[in-house]
Structure 1
Amino acid sequence: MQEGKMGVVVEVRKVYPYPFQHVVNSYLNKYPTPLEKHVTGIKTVEEKTDPATGIVYRRRIATCNNVIPSFLRKFSILKISNIYLEEESWLDMKARVMTLKSHCLTWAQYASLNEESMYKESTENSNWTEFTQKGSITITGAGLLNCVLETFAQTFLKQGVKRSILIMETILQERCGCPFS
């Protein structure tokens, strides 16, 4: 985790000891789950397959609870119940790669939240899947709140990444077997 002029940045790499297809299917069906109370829904708003390449494009909208602490919600711009994130993904089963880009639709005039992720078949073992992610949050236009919100975002991102990986491990373990036990 780094901070500075760029806001808050997080980078993650994880190898799941499961085949690509299992990991991708688990990811695409991960939410909603009782393991994560903040993500209340995911809706696919566009899905198409390129007939020439076979690449499946999906655009999904996630509905999440507002996790901003109540003491900050006194400011009108933060007084909302749901936050919306847009995710675009490109699944290439031939190359065994799925790339994803996500950004926050809520508060776009005050903050930018962007993530780029990739799941791909591991070069170490074809039955494993590598996951990499780079995400950033930059707060602007919130005046004196910028620093407070970036500090909160840093803590939330750090916890969120750990929780997301734990959820994937739990789902994979339940569906596919038990390498993580």
Structure 2
Amino acid sequence: MGAEVLADKVYCYPFQKVVTGYLNKYPTPLEKNVTAVTTVEEQTDPATGIVYRRRIATCNNIIPSFLRKSREWIFKWSILKVTNIYLEEESWLDMKARVMNLKCRCLTWAQYASMNEESVYRESKHNSNWTEFSQKGTITITGAGYLNCILERFAQTFLKQGARKSIAIMEKILEEKYGSPVS
């Protein structure tokens, strides 16, 4: 079945500032669940100037404790008991076109869950001092039988809250670093 989350936001800050803010957003005291972000690969295409990055985010396990307790009847192995969840993010930053595309996927539990996000930051067509953000996230759970749907709904709720919180963190970081938004 699967669940989907959509998010859109216009940041009233120039593209370069928003991208810099995004790339330095985590870890932050504003989000205690993201404990580290490590760049594992970075390359610049000499022909296009596009910067490719692959980063791994380490996050606290946010699965409710009642699901994490020894419930081997839910899953063959007690896979929900992990302390950390790992996410892989790939990004392509094109400063000439003023666009950054991102793809993120969950590495933890990949054999049971597919979590993917695709995001775009781009200079606004309406105002070159603004940056448009759009995101689409999907999650599909398999291997949990009748709990697949319940776990997907939990994940959808968490992803919606996470998207709202991430946008609020970006706004706070941009305002603290650059002052009030540009009109």
TM-score by length of 1: 0.94
TM-aligned CA deviation for residue 151 of structure 1? 2.0
Match of 1:85 among 72, 84, 87: 87
- Quote the sequence identity (%): 76
Higher relative contact order (CA 8 A, sep 6+): 2
Q: In the alignment, what sits opposite 1:14?
A: 9
Counterpart residue number, 1:138? 140
* Matched residue SS, 1:107: coil
SS in 2 for 1:33: coil
User: What CA deviation, in whole Å up to 9, does each residue of 1:99-137 have, x standing for no partner?
Assistant: 000000000011000000000000000010000100011
Unpaired segments of 5 or more residues in structure 2?
72-77
1:23 and 2:18 correspond: yes
Q: Counterpart of 2:75?
A: none
Q: What does 1:32-181 align with in structure 2 at a 5 Å threshold? A: 32-74=27-69, 75=71, 76-179=78-181
TM-score norm. by structure 2 comes to 0.93
| Regions of 4+ moved over 3 Å | none
Aligned equivalents of 2:11 and 2:43: distance in 1? Answer: 27
> Take 1:65 and 1:37, find their aligned partners in 2: how far apart are those partners?
8
**Is the deviation greater in 152-161 or in 65-74?**
152-161
Distance 1:179 1:23 in 2: 11
| Structure 1 stretches lacking a partner, 5+ long | none
Please tell me the root mean square deviation across aligned C-alpha atoms, in Å. Answer: 1.0
Using the alignment, how far apart are the partners of 1:86 and 1:10 within structure 2? 18
AA matched with 1:69: P
Q: Give the letter aligned to residue 94 of structure 1.
A: K
Task: Quote the Cα distance in structure 1 between the aligned partners of 2:113 and 2:26.
Answer: 24
Number of residue-to-residue matches in the alignment: 175
Q: How far is the alpha carbon of 1:148 from its aligned partner? A: 2.2
Q: What amino acid maps onto 2:123 in structure 1? A: E
